[in-house]
Structure 1
Amino acid sequence: MYRLAKLSLANRSVVALATIIVIAFGALSLGGLKQELLPSFETPQAAIITSYPGASAEVIDKQVSQKVEEQVRTLDGLVTTTSTSQNNLSIVRVEFEYGTTSAKVKENLAAAIAAVESSLPKEANARVVAGSFDSVPIISIGVSSDDNEKLGPLLEDVAPSVFGSIDGVRGVSVTGMKVKRINLKLDNALLTKNGLSQQSITQALQQSGFVIPAGSIRDKQGELSLQVGTPVESIAALKKIALTPPASAYFTTTMTMAGPVTVPTTPKVYTIGEVAKVTYDYADVTTISRVNGKESLAVTVTKTQDGNTVTVANGVEERIDDLKKELGGNVEVAVIFEQGSFVEKSLEQLTTEGLLGLGFAILIILLFLLSVRSTLVTAISIPTSLLITFIGLSSLGYSLNLLTLSALTIAIGRVVDDSIVVIENINRHLSYGEPKKKAILRAVKEVSGAITAATITTVAVFLPVALVGGIVGELFRPFSFTFALALVASLFVSLTIVPVVAYWFLKTPEQKAFKTEAAARKHEEAVREVEEAKERKSILQRGYLPIIRTTQKHPVITLVASFIILILTFSIAGLLKTDFIGSSGSGSVIANQTVPAGATLKDQSIAAGKLEAIITADKSVKVTLTTIGSSGDSRTALGLAAGGIQHQITLKEGEDLEAFKTKVLAAAKADPTMGEVEFSSAGGGSFGGSSTVDITVTANDSDSLLTGVTAVAKALEGAVGTTETNTSLADKQRTIQVTVDRKKAAAKGLSEIALSGIVAGLMQPSNIGSINLNNVLTNIYIVPKKPATTLAQIKNLSVPTLAGNVKLSSLAKVSVVEIPVSITTEKGDRTAKVMLTPDGKNLGATTVDVNKRLAKLELPAGVTATLGGVSASQAQSFSDLGMALLAAIAIVFIVMVATFRSIRQPLVLLISIPFAATGAFVALLVTDTALDISALIGMLLLVGIVVTNAIVLIDLINQYRREGKGIQDSIMDGARQRLRPILMTALATIFALSPLAIGITGSGG
């Protein structure tokens, strides 16, 4: 590496030109980096959502969920499956190993659906929804007018065209609007009398409305194409569709002298309009959207994986006026939630803290070197290294996000280290009176090996992070790469640009002419002795030399004291709080509201309105969007709820989110009619996982499961560091069960499935097809004239059979039973969860207390309770990073063995690593900061930093020993001369990171 510095000094103009080019390209790369909250990565999670209208949770579980889950569990790379069966809907969530692409996940699940589709009920409709953090909306907008019914179709048509053309937009969706459909109310008496049925109408629809090419002919004017059929594109055309009479209608039987004779006849052909009342009306509402309590429509925008969050969010906001113009009329538009400003603010705060850190680091250098020129030469390495890093990030497609920018902010203190060591040594040699070029080359030669080894060691520390799996690996891999790239850039700058700039900017020492080279060397040695004598009298040396002499004279006492410090260090570790991943600090949050089982959409709306009133009355709230009903979008694959009630809340800037949540929860508990309320992140859940401490209870049957969940919930009530306890065990609801008597039904010509379909048709609308109406694909439903509303009416339902109409009660037992609202299984076992909400202060203490309570709990035979959720995520991540730390130490050892060509010296260097924990643990304890993933990554970084100082020291000691000095003198002189650069690098790093650690702008701390 010394040759690189020698080459640079010989080609100073080339280095200057290359530096200008780097600065230009770095600035361009920085401007081109996309900005987002977190690094984009694919989550190997998805969900198979199967709708089966009219089916209960038990039917869904047996006929859909179990079959789908059984097929899915045969797929390679599968980590876990969880199925939830509820009325009308089955959700099978799957998670594959990280590294599996979304495309591969979709492909595997599509194959699983194809394999099992034939065994599912005919009415079941399965689809795959893949989850990624790019599927979480980056902006939500509420739109309302005096006539939302009229506004809906217009908004659905206009919003995608207005927002969809913005670069980086993935999709635009509209929810909360009412959809029109065609309803058919059948005249069943007329149908039965003429041998027709609902199936006759379905067949007529399937066989009509086609335009089929049938060849062509030629005449004098040219070729004429021939087509057969007429499209059905209006209600009038639909009414005119003819129903094919039954085969028996084409013959009639007459009595003759010879007996009954069957003769052909022309049957009466009925049209749909004659056997049914056809209307064009709004479908039943399945979702409700309200903004600040006022009914409205919601527009959500998602970005592509390569999209810039800030650019897309700002672009959408800029086009809101265009949306208003396109919609016209008295339209109100309100931005409910958007990530752009939060990302901008977060990046701006980190940038500010980074610049403050840069200023502090430069100030430290100035205080030690007491030279503006030397300080400027050293400081130039920071922006140059960062600009080179920006080029690397841009080339590899990385974004500017909280983690990569944090890596750059942290790197500010470290990238200057190599340059500090180089410039400090150059100054030392210049003070000896050596010619400038000779002094620079000598100084660089002395430290080039040490700083190269130190940089390689620090970079190597982060290699194991690339092997860490799960969410931690995905999040911190870009962080590690960015930091490593910045360090490599700083090494390159310190060996190329810094020597050249030092040659131009630093003062040339006064040169004297000597007759012989020996006289010149003698003069240099005399000057060196004078300068070293001055250095020994400096404040630093006067304070340090007595300490180093004392430790050398009393090695046993020094080692014992060191050992005691290590014991105290690891004793402190037990007093530390622990956490997983801290809060993002966003001013938006989602309140999930769960109402009692069996609640209708109207009941849910009333309960939601009560909570809305509390939320909107709070002065800290800026805006809230309430969504009632099922969403079933791609966020379901990330573990978010597929239905129920959600309140998306944005607070005014500067308001306390935790205080707001506490107030809302207290108010909700005071009114049981609101149901249960819990909060989750507005940015897409907890990275695809749980934010609560979950205890998964598994049992063989529902009764044992209920017993187990009740026991676990009671045992964990009031656990350390928790605010509330909830369970996922669904309540039971009263349901009318129709149990078909297969023999009686078969005697009437009906199968069990056929009778089920008839009952469903008599009780609820059924989709029988669709037509293109006004360029919109419109569904056609057969709607019962007067659905039964009591148990007696259901028993008396008139069921058409080959022998005529009979009462339902004659073919089946109709009774009221209690069944679960939903059924959850995990890996095929019946499960439920007990969920503890941590207070965010000490997750480790919560986990320990929960484990103690579970160990004392006696559960019934066949019932198990397993700790999961955020506690399991924390344990797995800590374990992975612990292994990464051990691997990093091993890699550091290998690099040092290669550098020093010795095993003994690297072992000596490794002694410095445990002492890094001393300062770290004390700082965490004093500041009452939890040991979380970020802190562990910091510990990993410390391994590289402490070894760097040790390498720089040992390398100089080795040089003195090679010059013939004794071991004692080599240690004393090496320690004395490396004191200043080690202090400079340590203090520069500490002060560069202090704004981020303190959180001067509010983002750190």
Structure 2
Amino acid sequence: MNVISQIDSIDTLNKLPVMEGVTLQDIATIELRQDHESISRSNGKDVLFAVVTKEANANAVDVGNKVQEVVNDINNTVKNADVAVVFSTSDMVVDSVNSMMREVLMGALFATIIILLFLRNLRATLVTVISIPLSLAVTLYLLKVSGVTLNIITLGGVAVAVGRLVDDSIVVIENIYRRMQKESFSVQMVISATKEVAQAITSSTIATVAVFLPMGLLRGGLQAFLLPFALTITYSLITSLVVALTVVPLLSSWLLRSSRLKEEKSSKKFGMFLAWNLRHKWVTLSLAFFVFAASIAAYVYMPKGALDASDAGYVVVKLKYANDVPVKEVLDSGKKLEDYMMKQDQADTVLLQYGNSAEEAQWGNVSSLAEVNYTIMMKENADAQAFMEAVRAQKKNYDGATLTANETGIMSSGSTTEYVDIVGDEFTAISSVAKELTAKLQTVDGVEKVTSSGDDTKPEFAFNVDPLAANGQEIAMQISAMLNPMPIGQIELDHVSTSVVLEPSVKPTTEKELTSLTLMTAGGMVPLSKLATLEVRNEPAMIYHKEGKKYLRITAEIDPKLVSKIGANIQKEIDTIKAPDGVLILAGGASVDQSDDFGDLGMTALISIGLVYLIMVLTFKTLRAPLAIMFSLPLAAIGAIVGLLISGVTPDFTALFGALMLIGIVVTNAIVLIDRIKHNEQYMTIREAIIEAALTRMRPILMTAIATICAMLPLVFGHSEEGSIVSQSLAIVVIGGLTAATILTLIVIPVIYELFYFRKSAKQRIGKVDSANHSISSL
């Protein structure tokens, strides 16, 4: 037999008999309260946030659309429901993809205009630019087959490759075009002209693709970030090569059949300059070496910046008080600041978050109860800087609080930070080192703010009980019962299990009220002040552990454009501190991550250079000609560094990635030039072969370079989309490097090539002079 009795309403609980003639409501006040772990508000209204995280291989846009469908369904079917999507990455992806697509189309347009200006023939231009849509269509199909989605990274690869897509086609059509000026048109002539440059463009494309192969050796997240980009460019280049060797000759045989072209003469002045240049090699090589050395020195002393991922569409604001400030005062101030920001014209949505939840705590996301955080979504074309300045100016209205406002992106934290962990067994020792280091870091140029986890303290009350006057355990039990809420059971309200908590019997607000509490002892009721002395200490609000040892973390917010410089200066300050035995000082943060990424890309670049050289050796079946081609790389470095200096852009991770791309891009022109020289050597002296090749290949070299440069101009002047590797610094590096390499390839590479064959070339010139003298004497 079961006997069941349960309380299912507040009224029943009120009338519950405690003793004869006395009910619970006679001796206590009973009320139902809503217990919140945290507070979330949107534009002044309490809300419940739900975060939907997509699977790694899921499409962000599809997930976003399905979430919106569910939201609409809830609003239509659930009474009084008001559900809205506050933020969706799918919207960001769609906007960014559309923006990047515009830059791709602008780049293609610029490349087409350049080709038209050079060839001055509409049909020849159409034959060339057909490679862009064809290559892009096949590339997108190959990406789909590979399981790679169309996103910011892959579209960034397309934007970078769009100028390079026409390079192979330009070389083919220009050679056909040049042959047509001297020969009668025929299908056989088109085939012959294509074969003449086939080896050069094939080896240059393979070399460019080889640059991206080592990315498979990169680590974890870096590989996942760069591999889709590399696949996009690889597919684009291979497709453009196939189009250049098949579609371009086919269309040329059809569209150019009836074209009548006048022969264009080579530049005599450039030919004379080349002849002088080859006779005075030391002048050219000395100048090139001097400029290269100066560029490398400039790069070494240039501060390296962090990847810029800020998005002025979002602003993060933080209002923080000392930990001993009452929660009610913090919340009241937080709502006051919320109301002010909602009234600003620039703000579209103001989100407020306060407190902690059990779910967030599982992942280590715990914030102080004296801190209120805001995320403000700005209106389109709003002045985020003016909004932040207005918010910061409100600090005077919040005495004792720290108020910060920074623009941010959804994928960035709003600031670039360095951190130093002081690890040890004794908290006193690590605290002493932390204070010394904090003072030193505040003097480092570029450090905007220094905080320590040890600064986040809370008052701790300790009672030292006189063992002769009372039992310490009994005193602790009585104080705990008087000051702490006590759970006494559960009741069912509206079919929901609800806790019943006995509130503290006393709520002292001052130290005097606390020490005046009366406790029961063996001798009767005695004030707490006669049993124990009160000691108030400020203890860390949270204790951090690393590998079983206590540690304090010092965090420095730094200028993102000076990451490497500030990181080095911070390390110098660390080296000046003599840590006690058992205390370790470990540095980390943006500069360490940057150094690791730069190291990985540097190793990738070395492997890529080795692969490119190997491909050249297999192509030309000699060691010296490929070595001459490789000298185009330091020439590109000159332009890349000069471009950064002129633009004032701080080199970051994407700039270094642009330098890696240059390895494959700039050797293309050198390959086209050297291939012509090797072809000429069959019936010319080396010097004659060099001059003829430079004059003949000057136009396709300039066309391909200028087309690639103009195709990347929208990336320089456009907005760098968040989450994309394609940035302004990458475009500047590629444009600057390609510009310098193109010009110097026509000037320096011929000198280096003849230098590698100096003896043979000298003998040929002497033999030619002797032959000429012999002919004269015979006469």
Equivalent positions of 1:100-115 (< 5 A) are none
Equivalent positions of 1:562-581 (< 5 A) are 562-574=288-300, 576-581=302-307
Q: Distance in 2 between matches of 1:820 and 1:285?
A: 25
Pair 1:609 & 2:335 matched: yes
Pair 1:730 & 2:455 matched: yes
Q: Is the 8 A contact 1:595 1:607 kept in 2?
A: no
Partner residue, 1:309: 60
Q: Name which of structure 1's ranges 966-975 and 364-373 shifts more when overlaid on structure 2.
A: 966-975
Distance 1:807 1:892, change over 3 A: farther
Q: Distance in 2 between matches of 1:695 and 1:762?
A: 42
Shift of residue 375, structure 1, vs aligned partner: 0.9
Partner residue, 1:344: 94
- Count of residue correspondences: 714
Equivalent positions of 1:488-507 (< 5 A) are 488-507=238-257
Q: Distance in 1 between matches of 2:589 and 2:26?
A: 57
The superposition leaves residues 192-243 of structure 1 with CA deviations (integer Å, 9 ceiling, x where unpaired) of xxxxxxxxxxxxxxxxxxxxxxxxxxxxxxxxxxx9998989559998xx9x
Distance 1:682 1:908, change over 3 A: closer
Shift of residue 920, structure 1, vs aligned partner: 1.0
Q: Distance in 1 between matches of 2:364 and 2:258?
A: 65
Partner residue, 1:986: 705
Shift of residue 796, structure 1, vs aligned partner: 6.5
Partner residue, 2:587: 867
Q: Distance in 1 between matches of 2:495 and 2:671?
A: 74
Partner residue, 1:628: 354
Match of 1:649 among 360, 368, 376: 376
Q: Distance in 2 between matches of 1:377 and 1:935?
A: 34
The superposition leaves residues 859-916 of structure 1 with CA deviations (integer Å, 9 ceiling, x where unpaired) of 6665554432212222222222122222221221222222222222222211110111
Equivalent positions of 1:393-542 (< 5 A) are 393-433=143-183, 436-469=186-219, 471-508=221-258, 534-535=263-264, 537-538=265-266, 541-542=267-268
Q: Is the 8 A contact 2:475 2:519 kept in 1?
A: no
Q: Is the 8 A contact 2:349 2:378 kept in 1?
A: yes
Q: Distance in 2 between matches of 1:736 and 1:763?
A: 12
Gaps of 5+ in 1: 1-226, 243-267, 511-529
The superposition leaves residues 749-778 of structure 1 with CA deviations (integer Å, 9 ceiling, x where unpaired) of xxx8x99899766644466887876565x3
Q: Distance in 1 between matches of 2:713 and 2:607?
A: 28
Shift of residue 479, structure 1, vs aligned partner: 1.6
Pair 1:885 & 2:605 matched: yes
Q: Is the 8 A contact 1:716 1:853 kept in 2?
A: yes
RMSD (CA atoms): 4.2
Q: Is the 8 A contact 1:576 1:924 kept in 2?
A: no
Partner residue, 2:38: 287
Shift of residue 637, structure 1, vs aligned partner: 4.5
Partner residue, 1:697: 422
Equivalent positions of 1:907-918 (< 5 A) are 907-918=627-638
Output the amino acid matched with 2:235.
L
Distance 1:642 1:403, change over 3 A: farther
Pair 1:949 & 2:669 matched: yes
Q: Is the 8 A contact 2:317 2:403 kept in 1?
A: no
Q: Is the 8 A contact 2:315 2:405 kept in 1?
A: no
Identity %: 31
SS in 2 for 1:461: helix
Shift of residue 571, structure 1, vs aligned partner: 2.8
Match of 1:972 among 681, 687, 691: 691
Equivalent positions of 1:578-593 (< 5 A) are 578-593=304-319
Q: Is the 8 A contact 2:416 2:559 kept in 1?
A: no
Partner residue, 2:737: none
Q: Distance in 1 between matches of 2:608 and 2:465?
A: 67
Q: Name which of structure 1's ranges 767-776 and 469-478 shifts more when overlaid on structure 2.
A: 767-776
Partner residue, 1:713: 438
Equivalent positions of 1:384-399 (< 5 A) are 384-399=134-149
> Which has the larger strand fraction?
1
Q: Distance in 1 between matches of 2:114 and 2:44?
A: 56
Shift of residue 300, structure 1, vs aligned partner: 4.1
Q: Is the 8 A contact 1:548 1:972 kept in 2?
A: yes
Partner residue, 1:786: 505
Q: Distance in 1 between matches of 2:451 and 2:697?
A: 59
The superposition leaves residues 547-585 of structure 1 with CA deviations (integer Å, 9 ceiling, x where unpaired) of 322221222222212211211221331453421211342
Pair 1:899 & 2:619 matched: yes
Pair 1:366 & 2:116 matched: yes
Shift of residue 648, structure 1, vs aligned partner: 1.0
SS in 1 for 2:39: strand
Q: Name which of structure 1's ranges 577-586 and 374-383 shifts more when overlaid on structure 2.
A: 577-586
Distance 1:775 1:972, change over 3 A: farther
Shift of residue 324, structure 1, vs aligned partner: 4.4
Partner residue, 1:190: none
Pair 1:560 & 2:286 matched: yes
Distance 1:645 1:506, change over 3 A: same
Distance 1:739 1:858, change over 3 A: same
Shift of residue 487, structure 1, vs aligned partner: 1.3
Q: Is the 8 A contact 1:233 1:774 kept in 2?
A: no
Output the amino acid matched with 1:557.
V
Partner residue, 1:920: 640
Q: Is the 8 A contact 1:465 1:477 kept in 2?
A: yes
Shift of residue 683, structure 1, vs aligned partner: 1.6
Distance 1:332 1:236, change over 3 A: closer
Superposition TM-score, scaled by structure 1 size:
0.63
Distance 1:622 1:236, change over 3 A: closer
Q: Distance in 2 between matches of 1:794 and 1:311?
A: 63
Partner residue, 2:758: none
Q: Distance in 2 between matches of 1:883 and 1:318?
A: 47
SS in 2 for 1:285: coil
Q: Is the 8 A contact 2:629 2:667 kept in 1?
A: yes
Q: Is the 8 A contact 2:305 2:561 kept in 1?
A: yes
Pair 1:677 & 2:404 matched: yes
Q: Is the 8 A contact 2:40 2:46 kept in 1?
A: yes
Q: Distance in 2 between matches of 1:755 and 1:725?
A: 42
Q: Distance in 1 between matches of 2:616 and 2:525?
A: 90
Shift of residue 967, structure 1, vs aligned partner: 1.8
Shift of residue 289, structure 1, vs aligned partner: 2.3
Partner residue, 2:546: 826
Shift of residue 449, structure 1, vs aligned partner: 1.8
Q: Distance in 2 between matches of 1:601 and 1:274?
A: 29
Output the amino acid matched with 2:113.
L
Q: Distance in 1 between matches of 2:466 and 2:141?
A: 74
Q: Distance in 1 between matches of 2:569 and 2:83?
A: 49
The superposition leaves residues 480-501 of structure 1 with CA deviations (integer Å, 9 ceiling, x where unpaired) of 2222221122122222322222
Output the amino acid matched with 1:579.
G
Q: Is the 8 A contact 2:334 2:372 kept in 1?
A: yes
Q: Distance in 2 between matches of 1:373 and 1:567?
A: 45
SS in 2 for 1:990: helix
Q: Is the 8 A contact 1:589 1:650 kept in 2?
A: yes
Distance 1:955 1:684, change over 3 A: closer
SS in 2 for 1:447: helix
